[in-house]
Amino acid sequence: MNRHVERRRNLPAFSIGLGELEVLWNRVIAVFGTGEPVQASIDISLRSEQLEFNTLDELRNYSELKGRVTKFSLHFFQGRRILNVFSGSLVNPVPSVFAKGETEAWSAGAVETVYSFLQSHRLWYHWFVSWPMVMFIFVLTWVPLADTLVPASPALPRSVAIAWSSTLMVISVLYLARAILLPSSILRITNEESFFRRHVAELSLVLALLSAVLTVVGWFFGK
C-alpha cells in the first residue's frame, strides 16, 4: 500500500536574494533527511523564454540573467516525497508551498519550514496582495455618494469627494494589477535598477493610502 499526504499553504508576499535562496534551499534539502539524493531545480519564467537550473551555481553563473525575477518556482523530490514552491500568477497572485509525503508529520513540517523562512522575508505590502480587498474597495466606492443615498448623512465637501475618488481609483488600479505592479514573489539576482524604478508601485500605494488618511482627517477637522 502507498500512502500520500498532501499539504498546501499560501505564503506571504516575499523578496529574497541569492543568499537567502541558498539558505532556504539547504533547509528544504535537510527536511528530506538521509537516503536517496534529493533532486532539486529552480524554474524561471521570462517574457519569451523558460529557464531551468539544477543547482544554485548554475543560476549564479548565468550572466544573462540580471535584475530581479518575479515568476519562478522551486522543485524538490526524493522518492515519494515532493516539495514545490510556486510564485504568484496573474490569475492568483498569492504564492504557495505544496508538499506531499508518506506521513502527515513530514508534509506539515516541510510546509512549515518554507513558510517560517519566507515569513521573515515578507514584503511590507503583503496584506494588500493577499487580503480580500475587493469588498473593502467596493464599500469605499460608496463613501462619496453617502449624502445622496442616505439623506440624513452629512454631505461631503466637493473637494473631499474628488480627493477620495482619486485616491480610491489609484488603490483599485494597484489592486487589480497587483500581480504586475506589486509582485508577491521577488528573487533578486542583481541590483542594477534605480531605487525609484524598483519601488514606484510601492510609493504609489503609500501616497494613495496617505492621501486617503489626510482626506478623512481634513474632512473631520474642516467641519
Choice between 150 and 178, residue whose per-residue pLDDT is larger: 178
What is the pTM assigned to this prediction?
0.73
Q: Are 219 and 156 contacting, i.e. CB atoms less than 8 angstroms apart? A: yes
H/E stretch holding 179 reads helix 178-181
- On the question of pLDDT at 134 being above 50, the answer is yes
Q: How far apart are CA 168 and CA 118, in angstroms?
A: 30
Confidence at residue 10, expressed as pLDDT on a 0 to 100 scale? 93
Confidence at residue 198, expressed as pLDDT on a 0 to 100 scale? 60
Q: Which three cell numbers stand for residue 121?
A: 522575508
Locus of grid cell 510556486:
86
Locus of grid cell 494588500:
128
- Model pLDDT for residues 17-50, shown as the tens digit of each residue: 999 999 999 999 999 988 889 999 999 999 889 9
- Model pLDDT for residues 162-208, shown as the tens digit of each residue: 666 666 666 666 666 665 677 889 999 987 655 555 666 566 666 66
- Model pLDDT for residues 53-103, shown as the tens digit of each residue: 999 999 999 988 988 899 999 999 998 899 999 997 767 778 999 999 999
CA dihedral 162, 165, 170, 175 (to 10 degrees): 170
- Mean pLDDT, residues 121-142 taken together: 67
- Mean pLDDT, residues 118-143 taken together: 70
Confidence of residue 147 (pLDDT cuts 50, 70, 90): low
- Among 113, 86, 80, residue whose Cα is nearest residue 98: 86
Give CA 223 to chain center in angstroms: 40
Residues 6 or more apart in contact with residue 80 via CB below 8 angstroms: 2, 4, 100, 101, 102
Q: What are phi and psi of 118, to 5 degrees?
A: -70, -25
Q: How far apart are CA 14 and CA 24, in angstroms?
A: 13
